[in-house]
Structure 1
Amino acid sequence: MSNSGQNLTMDRFKILSEVGVGGMGKVFQAVEHNSNKVLALKVMHNHLKNDPTNRMRFEREAKVAIDLHHKNIVEVTAFGFTENNEPFIVMEFLEGVSLQDVLKQKLRLNLPQFFEAFDGVCDGLSHAHESNVVHRDIKPSNIMLVDGDFKQSKIVDFGIAKVCKQTGEVCPETASAIKSMVKPNDALTGDQSSTSIEETIKILMSQEGSSVLQDLTQPGEIFGSPLYLSPEQCIGEEADCRSEVYTLGCVMFESLTGSPCLKGSNAMETLLLRVQNDAPSINEIYEGLEFPIELERVVAKALRRNPDERYQSVQELGTALREARELLYDRSI
């Protein structure tokens, strides 16, 4: 199938059913008439199609992902336009559930599932990074588990543009507010600010109606979930591969414990917690099960506030996870 959107139209497909709805569009299961192949079509919401920023993000998802070919990344093959000029993306149809669906059911991944799933996520992200692509929006809803035992994983949604409020970065107003409440290099050194989190939240909440709060609360604004942003992203710095190591650490933490890492009562508090506090150990959170020390150390290193103290690439993180699994396996023999 051609990867150009110039001549690709919806009449090449038969829609079978709607399978999902997201902030940017709806996803349908469809069959291509010529090949009889079952595919997924992601169609942009009609009310967003005339917004240049949203349209750029949507088309970028197709253009970036088309060039990424890896077993742990959803295969995107083409993009086109409906008769109403709504952009749509053609991709492989995945049968499975998202990691978010699993966590919503109060489930956790057991250790074999965890190691297999995140081995795949690390491999897929490493491939993207080698292709000079930083995902910037890794979170449970963008990780699909596509087999019955939750072990095989695929990364979805590469629709991140370098536009404020459309990326895994905090908008300038929010970043400035956070920076004003913490000491320079607070996120990197681990020093505590003289201003407590409680005082900071009180000050920010007193600015009701300001752009600071609106940027976090207005529906439809997408800037990356605070639950999965690195400390450096929380103060407005650009995401790099080490930022995605931290993000993966957050997702691993939640997958093992069932609880998000450093979650505040609202988005702003979560951002401040992320900047001012070290992540707790996975063994501090989950009662009733002691995680192996080898795994605890890997997750802890991924979640270091200082980017220089983390694994310096997702590939390094993947290697550390495999080594931890091998040590556990050897110990159990």
Structure 2
Amino acid sequence: MPPDEKLPYKSLEDYLSEPPYVVMEFMEGGSLRDLMREKGPLELNEFLRLAYSITLALSELHKANIVHLDLKPENILFKDRERRIVKIGDLGAAKIMVGGKSYVSQFSIAYAAPEVSKGIADVRSDIYSLSCIFYEMLTGINPHIHRLSSGQAVVPLITSYRPDVPPEIASLIMRGLELNPSLRPSSTNEILAALSKFMNS
């Protein structure tokens, strides 16, 4: 940022001489989208490891009373080339929850929970987006886009594409995709507990 005495800008010339900028950490491993383009549907063990790390990162936001509201593979970033360190980026649409809810004015449609388009969200809205991402990581299909393009509320069971996914994990993902927020897992803790049972097994 320019020095305080130069703000607010008084002219276009002032702006051009010292424009504002953002310094961001370099994410050497790219995004989850890059990984899915490279590999297609992920092997179960890799999915479990990444799903746990992504959920853990999201849980830190939720503990701070923040809903992300723009979770998508492009915003899940890897710090290192080995893709061991996961970070969630782009909090441009994120909101602080008041009384457990937040009023929404902007969001990306491709992974947004149905209630977000009505202007209200809570942690279960992020859980819907997270479940969309998990489904896509395992199948290559975005279930929300499937709903929007087919006009059908029902999403095919994940096990119809991936019979190797443990029933508890498949059920958790499908619950996360429920149109009614009250039927989804209520917190990231439930997701972390389920995923941890199957890691390194």
Question: Are 1:314 and 2:196 an aligned pair?
Answer: no
Backbone CA RMSD of aligned residues? 3.1
1:283 to 159, 180, 184: 159
Q: Give the structure with the higher percent helix.
A: 2
Q: CA deviation at 1:95?
A: 0.8
- C-alpha separation in 1, matches of 2:178 and 2:94: 26
Question: Are 1:121 and 2:117 an aligned pair?
Answer: no
Over 3 Å counting, the alpha-carbon distance change for 1:140 and 1:161 in structure 2 is closer
Task: Tell me the equivalent position of 2:169.
Answer: 295
Asked whether the equivalents of residues 228 and 247 of structure 1 are also in contact (C-alpha less than 8 Å), the reply is yes
Q: CA deviation at 1:127?
A: 1.1
Task: Tell me the equivalent position of 1:7.
Answer: 3
Say which SS state the counterpart of residue 145 (structure 2) adopts.
coil
Q: Give the structure with the higher percent strand.
A: 1
Q: CA deviation at 1:239?
A: 1.6
Q: CA deviation at 1:225?
A: 2.8
- C-alpha separation in 1, matches of 2:15 and 2:37: 34
Task: Tell me the equivalent position of 1:135.
Answer: 68
Task: Tell me the equivalent position of 1:270.
Answer: 148
- C-alpha separation in 2, matches of 1:229 and 1:156: 16
Q: Look up the equivalent residue of 1:304 and give its one-letter code.
A: E
Q: CA deviation at 1:96?
A: 0.8
Q: Deviations over 1:106-153 (max 9, x none)?
A: 522222221221212111111111112111101000001334444432
Task: Tell me the equivalent position of 2:30.
Answer: 97
Q: CA deviation at 1:262?
A: 3.6
- C-alpha separation in 2, matches of 1:114 and 1:148: 17
- What is the TM-score normalised by the length of structure 1? 0.49
Higher relative contact order, chain-length normalized (CA < 8 Å, sep 6+) = 2
Q: Give the structure with higher Rg (CA).
A: 1
Say which SS state the counterpart of residue 318 (structure 1) adopts.
helix
- C-alpha separation in 2, matches of 1:131 and 1:271: 35
Over 3 Å counting, the alpha-carbon distance change for 1:95 and 1:259 in structure 2 is same
Q: CA deviation at 1:281?
A: 1.5
- C-alpha separation in 1, matches of 2:157 and 2:35: 22
Instruction: Map 1:139-218 onto structure 2 (within 5 A).
Output: 139-160=72-93
Q: Deviations over 1:231-273 (max 9, x none)?
A: 2123x13121010011100000001111111425xxxx72894
Unaligned 5+ residue runs, structure 1? 9-49, 51-80, 163-167, 172-222
- C-alpha separation in 1, matches of 2:52 and 2:39: 22
Over 3 Å counting, the alpha-carbon distance change for 1:159 and 1:104 in structure 2 is same
Q: How many equivalent residue pairs?
A: 187
Task: Tell me the equivalent position of 2:7.
Answer: none
Q: CA deviation at 1:83?
A: 4.3
Q: CA deviation at 1:160?
A: 1.8
Q: Deviations over 1:165-197 (max 9, x none)?
A: xxx95x7xxxxxxxxxxxxxxxxxxxxxxxxxx
- C-alpha separation in 1, matches of 2:62 and 2:56: 10
Q: CA deviation at 1:89?
A: 1.6
- C-alpha separation in 2, matches of 1:144 and 1:233: 24
2:114 to 211, 214, 231: 231
- What is the TM-score normalised by the length of structure 2? 0.78
Say which SS state the counterpart of residue 294 (structure 1) adopts.
helix
